[in-house]
C-alpha cells in the first residue's frame, strides 16, 4: 500500500490544518487513521496494488 499523509508543525500551514486525531496522543486511534488514509490513497492512486 501507499503511505498515509505526512504532517509537521505548525498545526496550520498554508490553510491546511493537521487532523485533530493526530494531535490527540491516542496512538491506537492514530494508527487506525493512518491505515485508513493509506488504503484511501492506494485505492485512488494505485488500485492495481489491491487486486492481489
49 falls within a domain: yes
Q: How many domains does the chain have?
A: 1
Establish if 51 belongs to a structural domain: yes
Q: Quick one: pLDDT at residue 51? A: 85
Q: What is the pLDDT of residue 4?
A: 95
The 10s digit of each residue's pLDDT in 1-52 is: 999 999 888 999 889 999 999 999 999 999 999 999 999 999 999 999 998 6
Burial class (CB in 10 A: 0-12, 13-18, 19+), 15: exposed
Asked, for residue 31, whether it belongs to a domain, the answer is: yes
- Against a cut of 0.85, is the pTM above it? no
d(CA 17, CA 29): 18
The pLDDT score that the predictor gives to residue 8 is 83
**Structural domain range at position 34:** 25-52
The answer to the question of residue 44 being in a domain is yes
pLDDT of residue 50: 92
Q: Which residue has the cell 484511501?
A: 40
Domain assignment of residue 47, yes or no:
yes
| Angstrom distance (rounded) from CA 16 to CA 7 | 10
Amino acid at each position: 500500500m501507499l503511505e498515509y499523509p505526512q504532517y509537521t508543525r505548525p498545526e496550520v500551514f498554508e490553510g491546511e490544518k493537521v487532523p485533530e486525531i493526530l494531535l490527540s496522543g491516542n496512538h491506537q486511534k492514530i494508527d487506525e487513521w493512518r491505515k485508513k488514509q493509506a488504503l484511501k490513497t492506494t485505492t485512488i492512486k494505485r488500485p492495481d496494488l489491491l487486486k492481489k
